[in-house]
Structures are given as C-alpha cells and as structure tokens.
Amino acid sequence: MKVLLAEVNISEGTDLEKVQKVKEALMENGDLELIDQNSDKDHNRSVFTYKGDPKAVLEGTKRLSKKALELIDMTEHKGSHPRMGAIDVVPFIPVKNVSKEEAVEIAKEYGKYLGSLGVPVYYYEDAATRDDRKSLVKIRKGQYEAFEEKMKDENWAPDEGPFEFNPKAGATVTGVRFALIAFNVNIDTEDKEVAKKVVKAIRGAKGGYKHVRAIALDIPEKKQVQISMNLTNYEETPIHRVYETIKSELSRYNVNVVSTELVGPVPAYALKELLQFYIKLNDDFEVEQIYM
C-alpha cells in the first residue's frame, strides 16, 4: 500500500462557508483520509492535511484547487500570514512506500494541471527546477502584492502556467519536502518587537537553528503576539529545543508563553522526542504505543 500526504494552504480563513465548500470538493470521492483541517481568522488562511493513494491525493488536490480558485479573490485578501496566491502552498510528503521521485512526479502533474487553469506555478524544495527556487521564503518574498512587478522580470518566468500576473488567483508554490511541523507560540504581550527579537535568536537565516523558519505575527483578537514557525527537520532540531530557547529569550523581557499551537499533523517520532525530554521517558518506548 502506498501512502502520500498533502498539506494544502489556501488563502481563506474567515468565510467558513467557503472553506466548507473547498473541503467538500476535496472529499467528494471518499477515498482520502482528512487528518487535519485548520482555519485561522487572523492569518485568513486554512490548511487541509490529508493522505491516501498517490493518485487519489493528486485528484483530490485538483478538485480542492478548482473550487478554491472559484471562491477566493486575492484582490480582496487581507491576513497576517505571508501569502502569494489563493492556493498558496501545496507540499506533497511521502509517507509509506512512496519514493521522493514518485512524489515529485505527482507534484509536477499537479503543477501542470494548475498551470492549465491560468495560475503561475513554481516548484520548490525537492521538486525545484533551479537552486534559487528551493526555498519557499525566497519565492514568496514580497508576497502577493509584489508579484505584478515580479512578473515583468524574465527571471520570474513560472515553471508552469502563464508568464503573467493573475490578480484573482495570484501564484502557487508546489513541491515535495520532508515532514514539516508548523509550531506557533503565543506570548502575553502586544509588543511585536519582543517577538521579533526572539525570532532573530531562533531563525536559521539569522544565525539561530538551521531548520527553523520563523516570523512574528500580531494576534489582535487575543491582544497577543505570535512567534509562528516551521520546523523543517524535527530530527536535527526537535520541538523541545526550540521551545526551551524561546522561553529563555522571553525571560529577558519578562514575557511569558500563553499557549502553543501545532498546526496540522505531527510525526509520532517528534512526539516521542517531546516525551523523552519532558518526562524522561525510557529509550525502549516505541512510537507504535501512540494510538488514536
């Protein structure tokens, strides 16, 4: 049995009726397992995480995308999370009996489909066609608002789809990557500068942990600030190490953690690391002991 996982990020998190219609399109055939669905009003973003046979995942992602393009208009989109398109990021993650090469084929089939709908598509991570396009952060720099100007530069010719700005849909990034953990830490201050200083201490690009991408976001509804992170390799940079560093840095400013969020699925091996660190779990504990 082959299992492929997809974690699709769309730029809609406030109109839950639209989000529901996208979900219905995704699950229409009944051949996918929806692992997690997360909608955030402040981010104005929803993330669908699901798995199944690679072909079923591909077809479900096509259905989801067609419906999202129909319902989302990027000219009206506002949100605190970086984004460049209605269907913002579509990573495929090999889970069981699926090679990286097979997953890349699926990503490129999907990219061709989306491009045929008039959306500029860029391949990233293991599906990247150029070294300077491996990083999502680099591709998305300037966000949606910068893409009209970017599309005037030959260097920004997409891998699939038209080489012209699509105001309604924006642009999409898709590819194949290692299992990523989306980890957010909410802190008890509205001072975004504090969060920015902590981000600088942990973010790989700023000299922190190699496998941490982080930004500071406002959460006005809660009167808090969020340190929003993607942990791109939990084996080399485990959750507890990043979390303990954040707490240590926050203590310099007399600021505390209010809560944390794990968005989407979390590999069982990453949870094992947490248990071993916080409750001194013995090495003979097996991840198969974790069940639902």
State the catalytic residues: 81
* Tokens found for residue 24: 């219905």
* Tokens found for residue 226: 């969020």
| φ and ψ at residue 243, rounded to 5 degrees | -65, -45
Per-residue buried b or exposed e for 250-263, using 16+ beta carbons within 10 Å of the residue's own CB: beeeebeeeeeeeb
Q: Alpha helices of 166-213 — where are they, by DSSP H?
A: 192-202
Query: DSSP of 60-123, one letter per residue?
Result: HHHHHHHHHHHH--GGG---SS--SBSEEEEEEEEEES--HHHHHHHHHHHHHHHHHTT--EEE
CA 146/CA 88 separation, integer angstroms: 14
CA 83/CA 175 separation, integer angstroms: 16
Q: Which residues contact 285 (CB under 8 A, 6 or more apart)?
A: 272, 275, 276
Sign of CA dihedral 283, 288, 289, 292: positive
Cβ pair 122, 47 in contact under 8 A = no
Single-letter amino acid, residue 118: G
Strand-pair partners of 160: 121
